[in-house]
């Protein structure tokens, strides 16, 4: 029964460990997934804006080319739309860069250029309007547009490279952080595994100590402590039927004197084996000490208890016990039985005393007998 309890504890502990491991794996997987999403949302959107801004610069360059070459494809309204998009997109990129994880000193120069561009864009718009009214102002407009196109092209190219580098760095850092977390979890799991193993070993050791403290070392039967606790627990529930028998080997001292104590130990082992095979759950058999044994009957009627005790007495009487590898000896036992059908409340010390009184009568009446307490009937 103890082995089963230990196995149940082990299963529960390992289930907790597996649950903890699963939780750790889920947490790391969730962290990786969220990191990728955050990484993408942080830089991908910014990269898209810069790509679109570079496309605006390309359109500006094309309009500038048409303007310089007096191409019929030049369209003032198209140029105004490009300038409007630049005017809209520059502050947007400025804000997203500042909100990103990129250090301030990395983008300070580029943001400064964009701020200057935003400041001169109204002047460029005025120059475009003036050009529509007076074509002779073309060279001034071309000069402004060239400077604007150059500043934006260099700035956006630099920002694009900067974002790519920052994205690579952050991706590498997140990868390293993931490995670090995995390493930390692995360390925790190793420590937890060691603690669980130590806990299991400690519990096993505790159970072994409990078994040793409640078991007779010679016969491996439960001892007086065990049977006392079982009887007290059973009596607390006020059972309808409870019986207690004390069995004492007759003239056991002579066996020790004639054949030696090792022979006496062998006899005790044989008797213990007979008792153990004669009793079934929920009843218990135990060694009280010396040549005394006892049986705690639970859920047995008085007649059933008498029958079991009598069968044990007859079996012992008929058994030839080999000692010292040669001699065959016979031994008998006397039994005092007390049985309570629940008609009155009692304690373990009382039922023990009643059984001991019945045993005393069995010894007094010639030994090798079973005596029932109260009516002192002999069988």
How many C-beta neighbours within 10 Å does residue 58 have? 13
Query: Residue 100 CB: number of other CB atoms within 10 A?
Result: 18
- Dihedral sign (CA 193, 199, 203, 208): positive
- Residue pair 131/141 in contact (Cβ under 8 Å)? The answer is yes
Catalytic residue among 291, 310, 311, 317: 291
User: Is 291 a known active-site residue?
Assistant: yes
Look-up of token digits 């964009």: 114
Sign of CA dihedral 352, 358, 363, 364: positive
Q: Are the beta carbons of 121 and 87 closer than 8 angstroms?
A: yes
Q: How many residues does the chain have?
A: 379
The token duo for 314 is: 């007859």
CB 355 within 8 A of CB 340: no
Q: Distance (Å, rounded) from C-alpha 82 to C-alpha 77?
A: 9
Q: 61 with 79: CB under 8 angstroms?
A: no
**Active site residues per annotation:** 291
């Amino acid at each position: 029964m103890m082995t089963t309890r230990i196995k149940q504890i082990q299963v529960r502990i390992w289930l907790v460990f597996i649950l903890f491991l699963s939780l750790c794996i889920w947490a790391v997987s969730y962290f990786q997934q969220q990191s990728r999403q955050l990484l993408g949302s942080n830089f991908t959107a910014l990269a898209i804006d810069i790509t679109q801004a570079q496309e605006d610069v390309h359109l500006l360059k094309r309009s500038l080319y048409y303007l310089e070459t007096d191409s019929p494809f030049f369209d003032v309204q198209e140029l105004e739309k490009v300038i409007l998009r630049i005017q809209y997109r520059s502050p947007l990129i400025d804000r997203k860069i500042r909100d990103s994880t990129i250090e301030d000193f990395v983008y300070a120069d580029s943001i400064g250029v964009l701020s200057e561009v935003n400041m001169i864009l109204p002047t460029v718009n005025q120059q475009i309007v003036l050009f529509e009214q007076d074509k002779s102002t073309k060279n001034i407009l071309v000069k402004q547009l060239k400077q604007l196109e150059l500043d934006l092209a260099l700035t956006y190219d630099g920002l694009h490279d900067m974002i790519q580098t920052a994205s690579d760095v952050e991706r590498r850092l997140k990868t390293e952080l993931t490995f670090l977390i995995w390493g930390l979890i692995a360390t925790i799991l190793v420590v937890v595994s060691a603690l669980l193993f130590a806990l299991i070993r400690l519990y096993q050791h505790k159970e072994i100590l409990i078994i040793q403290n409640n078991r007779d070392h010679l016969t491996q039967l439960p001892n007086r402590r065990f049977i006392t606790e079982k009887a007290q627990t059973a009596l607390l529930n006020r059972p309808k039927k409870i019986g207690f028998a004390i069995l004492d080997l007759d003239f056991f001292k002579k066996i020790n004197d004639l054949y030696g104590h090792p022979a006496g130990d062998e006899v005790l082992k044989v008797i213990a084996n007979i008792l153990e095979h004669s009793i079934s759950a929920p009843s218990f058999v135990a060694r009280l000490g010396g040549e005394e044994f006892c049986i705690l009957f639970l859920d047995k009627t008085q007649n059933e208890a008498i029958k079991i005790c009598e069968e044990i007495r007859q079996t012992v009487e008929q058994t030839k016990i080999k000692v010292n590898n040669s001699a065959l000896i016979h031994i008998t036992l006397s039994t005092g039985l007390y049985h309570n059908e629940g008609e009155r409340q009692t304690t373990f010390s009382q039922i023990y005393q009643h059984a001991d009184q019945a045993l005393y009568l069995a010894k007094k009446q010639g030994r090798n007998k079973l005596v029932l307490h109260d009516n002192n009937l002999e069988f």
